[in-house]
Amino acid sequence: MIAVVDLGMSNVASVRNMLARLGVSANIFGNPEGIADDQPLILPGVGTYDEGMDQLERRGWLDVLKGADPERHILGICLGMQLLGRSSEEGQRLGVGRLRTSFHRFDADAVKVPHMGWNGLDVSRRDPIMDALPVEQRYYFTHSYYGRRDLNHVGVLATAHHGLEFVAVERIGNTVGVQFHPEKSHRFGFAFLKSWSDLACC
Amino acid sequence: MSRECTRCIYNSDVYPSLTFDANGMCSSCREYDEAIAYRIVSGPEGKLILEQTLDKVRERGRRQEFDCLIGVSGGTDSTYVAYLTREWGLRPLAIHVDNGWNSELAVQNIHNCLEQLGIELDTVVLDWDEFRDLQLAFLKASTPDGDIPTDHAIQAVLWQAAIANGIKTIISGSNFRTESTAHQLDRSYGHSDWRYIKAVQRRFGTRPLRSYPHYSLGRIPYYNLARRVRILSLLNYIDFDKETAQGIIKAELGWRDYGAKHHESIYTRFFHGYVMPNKFGYDKRYEHLCDLVRSGQLTRHEAVAEIGREPYPREQQEQDVEYVCKKLRLERSEFDQIMLQEPKSFRDYPNNYNNYLRLKRAANALRRWGKYPL
Amino acid sequence: MLLTRVIPILLLHKGALYKTIEFQNPTYVGDPINAVRIFSDKAVDELVILDVDASAEGRGPDFALIEAIASECFVPLAYGGGIASVADTRRLHRIGVEKVIVKTGAARNVGLISEIAAVGGSQSLTVSIDLIRGRFGRYRIHAPGTPLHREMDWIGYLKKIQDAGAGEVLLQSVSDDGSRSGAAIDIVRQANDVLRVPLVYAGGVGSLNDIPAIIESGANAVGAGSIFVFRGKRRAVLINYPDHELLERSLGPGT
């Protein structure tokens, strides 16, 4: 059973609905009480960075995420991915640090901000999660801050392009972050969540 | 001890009033054979009758923009009928009745079919609040045909559209070979019985039916005699077999399969595949499969194998139940209660069955004398 | 590569879907839940649902209905109608709405935009403006019941809402609504000159062929109602949406 983290500000219903269609059992949790240490987590996110970090702390998730075993399956979506990262220009607080990316604001003089719409991926590296997905894939993005790809960062599984190349999928151990919204990317989203949940659970 | 027919796949558990002849063939098969003698034509004689019939359709419609009306649902039969009307140079107007349960595939199939064939379309969208209430009323009435609200509305719309557009011929996709009437009436009676529908609505409905398309039994002679509108079941005039038909519409019209009969409507597949077996202990596939066996389109062996399978995947059944509850605004517990209610039949409610029988006998008599279309 | 979004816009009126012509003469389209399910199964780029009565009736969103609709939607869903507070937007996000669309609320109080953006982030907020074409081809804002009704300086308003933190702007040409006779390209160009946030244009799209011109003039996405809901000369209700290959061919490569 996957635990979908509810910070009071995100699209938890959509994630759970998509998982339900896939036949994967998932439940929404406002706080970590009753969740096993090895239970897979999904952290969706809509909102601002600091508020996200504040809610993680207030609801008791911060320690759980910081202290979780590297082998524990955790999926961060959009802001969720950013919260799992190092830091973001959007906020003052530091991120959880399970992922290694830092986030910066798109340059409004160069491109439209936010990056909003469907975009494809450039797969950087082979990985069981990405291998199961169709070559021609596209996902829905909607964000103003992007993950900058550091040169030696082997955790980047895929990038996307909006004026510049940015991190779209990152994986460190079993912590995965996706900048796009699989729960709104219809058949591509279904395929991605299926691929991830096949690995994470069941 | 359950007895099985040697020809079709009915048995006395499924069809309690069945009797058997010396060869083990059941009474339903016998009814089928008797009726098929005058409900279809085929072969070279059939071709001649078909030509004459088509000429009549063209003649009666020659001064109008359209010479016939076809109902389209995205299903095999209505799609094939649309194809044939074009093959035979008719000028159809297509009507689709949207009851709020179309699957995406149905809508796609209708779209592709009409695009390819260049056929104009009118859609009647049933008032969803009224229709939902009526469907719920029928669920609460606990009778075994959940599609009466839809089917009655479709027929009413066809009559009304024919009259409104000055069209004299409605071409139906029903076909006797695979949709015969040689089945238990109790399971499927009521589509044309407005008295029965009104009674159920009055008893279990919560809002008046203001815009729901309907017609009383007495209107049928009126439509036929005074308005001179005829219903023609085109597929009864040809050597119709499902597999060939599907092959043609797939190749010519890009038609895609739903996986099973009537699965273009989410509610129909739910009612036939979930409610009927689980609440009424009745698998509706028996009817169609028996007819397919009798018309030589399926072997008895294949039919037995088919009935042994799930009507459709369990997981999808569950999702459909959730969807139905969502649309009908039913709590799951309320729905479960409905499923546990004792099954009833149309006989438990005011109905017009006797008059219906009279009309049916009259129509069949006329058919036998060649005075009414098949 | 950022694909242009082609977005069906559906109107909610008394809990049912309708389609209008110049915001009048609504045609009944039916149950919103099933319609959204069909669009979602067709994998549309995005869906916009607007409750046309909410603000006029002084009420908020019908959360129960929206939740039921959103649960059938696996494509991005944007909802507008009667949103007047941050609490409204939070609730909408939780039940599955990606973006909230504010029109009347923002026209009454531009501060609402910053409040919502501060909490949900700009990308979760679209501000919508309706324009009517008057004499000499000049446009004015159509916002009955607000101080902005008939305001001619709609460009000024665009700048204001952008500065206040809107993540996207939805520009609707009322005069072209339902006409299917082509878009008001002029306002797209003028809007694009001042906007750094994505621009969605709606009104008058009669076929996919109308879209490239709108995109070339600076819109990032195009909304349409009639072409996805009606079919044929007799305007029969039948939901349709081009498949991805057809869209790419119509819009041109890399759009």
Which residue among C2, C5, C96 sits closest to A11, beta carbon to beta carbon?
C96
Chains in touch with B (≥3 Cβ pairs < 8 A): C
Q: Does C246 touch chain B (CB under 8 A)?
A: no
pLDDT for C141 beyond 60: yes
pLDDT in tens, B25-43: 999 999 999 988 888 888 8
A contact set with C (CB within 8 A): 6, 8-14, 17-18, 21, 46-48, 51, 79, 108-109, 112-120, 138, 140, 142-144, 161-162, 181, 183-187, 189-190
**% of chain B at pLDDT higher than 90:** 80
CA A114 to chain centre: 17
Cα–Cα nearest to B169, from B40, B55, B311 = B55
- pLDDT bracket for residue C21 (50, 70, 90): low
Query: Phi first, then psi: what are they for B57, rounded to 5°?
Result: -60, -45
> What's the pLDDT score for residue B195?
97
Residues of C in contact with B96 (CB under 8 A): 236, 238
pLDDT for C207 beyond 90: no
> What's the pLDDT score for residue C1?
44
- Residue C77: CB partners within 8 Å, gap ≥ 6? A184, C36, C46, C47, C49, C69, C70, C96, C97, C98, C99
Residues of C in contact with B258 (CB under 8 A): none
**Least Cα separation, residue C252 to chain A (angstroms):** 15
Domain boundaries, chain B: 41-258+344-368
Instruction: Specify the residue for token string 């559906």.
Output: C10
Query: Phi first, then psi: what are they for C88, rounded to 5°?
Result: -55, -45
Give the residue on B whose Cα is nearest the Cα of C241. Answer: B108
- DSSP at B20: B
- The complex's ipTM works out to 0.92
Mean pLDDT (chain B, rounded): 93
**Least Cα separation, residue B275 to chain C (angstroms):** 21
Packing angle between helix B76-87 and helix B104-117, nearest 10 degrees? 0
Catalytic residues of C, by residue number, are: 130
Mean pLDDT (chain A, rounded): 93
pLDDT in tens, A141-198: 999 999 997 766 789 999 999 999 999 999 999 999 999 999 999 999 999 999 999 9
Burial of C218 (0-12, 13-18, 19+ CB in 10 A): middle
Catalytic-residue membership of A161: no
> What's the pLDDT score for residue A151?
66
B120:C237 CB<8 A:
no
What mean pLDDT do residues C75-95 have? 93
> What's the pLDDT score for residue A152?
61
Cα–Cα distance measured from residue B177 to residue B49, given in angstroms and rounded to the nearest whole number? 18
Burial of B304 (0-12, 13-18, 19+ CB in 10 A): middle
Which has more confidence, A104 or C2? A104
C121:A144 CB<8 A:
yes
**% of chain C at pLDDT higher than 90:** 70
**Least Cα separation, residue C43 to chain A (angstroms):** 6
Chains in touch with A (≥3 Cβ pairs < 8 A): C
pLDDT for A202 beyond 70: no
Cβ(A18)–Cβ(C74) below 8 Å: yes
Which residue among C38, C234, C239 sits closest to B120, beta carbon to beta carbon?
C234
The token duo for B43 is 């072969």
- pLDDT bracket for residue C50 (50, 70, 90): very high
Domain boundaries, chain C: 5-251
Altogether, the residues listed in chain B come to a count of 374
- Residue A4: CB partners within 8 Å, gap ≥ 6? A12, A15, A16, A19, A26, A27, A28, A29, A41, A42, A44
> What's the pLDDT score for residue B202?
97
Give the residue on C whose Cα is nearest the Cα of A189. Answer: C74
Burial of B34 (0-12, 13-18, 19+ CB in 10 A): exposed
Cα–Cα distance measured from residue A21 to residue B319, given in angstroms and rounded to the nearest whole number? 8
Which residue among B100, B120, B323 sits closest to C30, beta carbon to beta carbon?
B100
Residues of C in contact with B101 (CB under 8 A): 34
Residue C25, helix vs strand vs coil: strand
C196:A109 CB<8 A:
yes
- pLDDT bracket for residue C23 (50, 70, 90): low
Q: Does C26 touch chain B (CB under 8 A)?
A: no
Cβ(C222)–Cβ(C198) below 8 Å: no
What mean pLDDT do residues C99-124 have? 92
Catalytic-residue membership of A183: yes
Q: Does C244 touch chain B (CB under 8 A)?
A: no
Residues of B in contact with C232 (CB under 8 A): 114, 120-121
Half-sphere exposure of A167 (CA within 13 A, CB side): 29
- Domain C5-251 adopts which CATH fold? TIM Barrel (3.20.20)
Return the CATH number at A118.
3.40.50.880
pLDDT in tens, B43-58: 888 889 999 999 999 9
pLDDT in tens, C162-186: 999 999 999 999 888 777 777 788 9
Identify the segments of chain B with pLDDT beneath 70.
none
Cβ(B372)–Cβ(B363) below 8 Å: yes
Please give the span between the terminal C-alpha atoms of chain B, in angstroms, as a whole number. 39
pLDDT for C20 beyond 80: no
Instruction: Count up the domains in chain A and report the number.
Output: 1
Cα–Cα nearest to A162, from A143, A182, A135, A189 = A143
pLDDT for A28 beyond 60: yes
Strands (E), A8-137: 26-29, 41-43, 74-77, 87-88, 102-105, 115-120, 122-123
- DSSP at B167: -
Give the residue on C whose Cα is nearest the Cα of B118. Answer: C232
CATH code given to domain B41-258+344-368? 3.40.50.620
C30:B103 CB<8 A:
no
Q: Which of A73, A78, A162, A170 is catalytic?
A: A78
Cβ(B26)–Cβ(B5) below 8 Å: yes
**Least Cα separation, residue B89 to chain C (angstroms):** 21
**Least Cα separation, residue A201 to chain C (angstroms):** 22
- pLDDT bracket for residue C2 (50, 70, 90): low
Instruction: Specify the residue for token string 């209905």.
Output: C65
**Least Cα separation, residue A202 to chain C (angstroms):** 23
Q: Which of C27, C29, C33, C34 to mutate to test binding with chain B, by most B CBs within 10 Å of its CB?
A: C34
Which residue among C16, C42, C71 sits closest to B104, beta carbon to beta carbon?
C42
A112:C67 CB<8 A:
no
Q: Does C36 touch chain B (CB under 8 A)?
A: no
pLDDT for C255 beyond 70: no
B98:C16 CB<8 A:
no
Give the residue on A whose Cα is nearest the Cα of C44. Answer: A186
Longest CA–CA span in chain C (Å) reads: 47
The token duo for A180 is 């796009």
Q: What is the DSSP string of B236-268?
A: GGS---HHHHHHHHHHHH-----SSTTTTBHHH
Cα–Cα nearest to B77, from B270, B242, B269, B260 = B242
Q: Which of A16, A185, A186, A193 to mutate to test binding with chain C, by most C CBs within 10 Å of its CB?
A: A186
